[in-house]
Structure 1
Amino acid sequence: MRFHTRKWVKPEDLNPNGTLFGGQLLAWIDEEAALYTIIQLENNRVVTKYMSEINFMAKAVEGDIVEIGMEVQKFGRSSITLNCEVRNMRTRETIITVENIIMVNLDENGLPKAHGKTKTEFIKDRLAE
């Protein structure tokens, strides 16, 4: 799994227990999934269709730096299925996993659109073309 984004846990990200608020972490994951999909499918029009159950495994506290990793599970006709792991950058302890995030590619009318992609591509490979 490649970890693409880092987030610094700040006071405004905390719940009343003094740990990272799960809703904030899910917002970060959703944003990262959208960005990852936009880059893979080369289309700014993507939406989250589904996010499977989440598994909180550890906490994060103020000052922690968390890394968000995404990995393609499969390419559908108009969708891409990802999985995600968020971990503490320093300790490498897994904070949360999400097994399936389904993102859908849309056309200019907001309808699902075939994307024609079948494998993960990296920017460095596109630049070499």
Structure 2
Amino acid sequence: MRFHSRKWVKPEDLNANGTLFGGRVLAWIDEEAALYSIIQLENKKVVTKYMSEINFMSTAVKGDIIEIGVEAVKFGKSSLNLNCEVRNKMTQETIVTVDNIIMVNLDDDGKPKPHGKTKIEFVKDRLAKKEEEA
């Protein structure tokens, strides 16, 4: 799994116990899943359809740096299935895992649209391919 982004846990990210608020980390996961899907599917119109059981395993406190990892596990006709892990950058301790996130590719009318993708693509490889074609 590749860890694509990092977040610095700030006072506004904490719950009443002084630890990372679960709702905040879920929002970060949803955003990361959307960004990952937009890049993979090459479409800005992507939405979250489903998020499976969420397993909180540890927490973070103010000043911690967390990193969010997302990976594609299955390409559907108009969907992309992902899994996610959030961990503490300094301790490498897992904070939360989500086994299945389903993102759906949409057309201009907001309806599911086939994306034609079957495997993970990296932007650098797409750019190199376009240069070869030019």
Q: TM-score range by the shorter chain?
A: over 0.9
Match of 1:48 in 2: 48
Counterparts of 1:96 and 1:122 in 2: how far apart (Å)? 26
Unaligned residue ranges in structure 1 (runs of 5+): none
Q: Deviations over 1:56-110 (max 9, x none)?
A: 0011000000000001110000000000000000111000000000000000000
- Give the TM-score taking structure 2 as reference length: 0.96
Aligned residues: 129
Match of 2:83 in 1: 83
Match of 2:96 in 1: 96
- Give the TM-score taking structure 1 as reference length: 0.99
Unaligned residue ranges in structure 2 (runs of 5+): 130-134
AA aligned to 1:124 is K
* Deviation of the 1:127 alpha carbon: 1.4
- The two structures, once aligned, show a CA RMSD in angstroms of 0.4
AA aligned to 1:35 is L
SS of the equivalent of 1:118 reads coil
Match of 2:19 in 1: 19
Pair member with larger Rg: 2
Match of 1:35 in 2: 35
Match of 1:118 in 2: 118
* Deviation of the 1:124 alpha carbon: 1.2
Match of 2:132 in 1: none
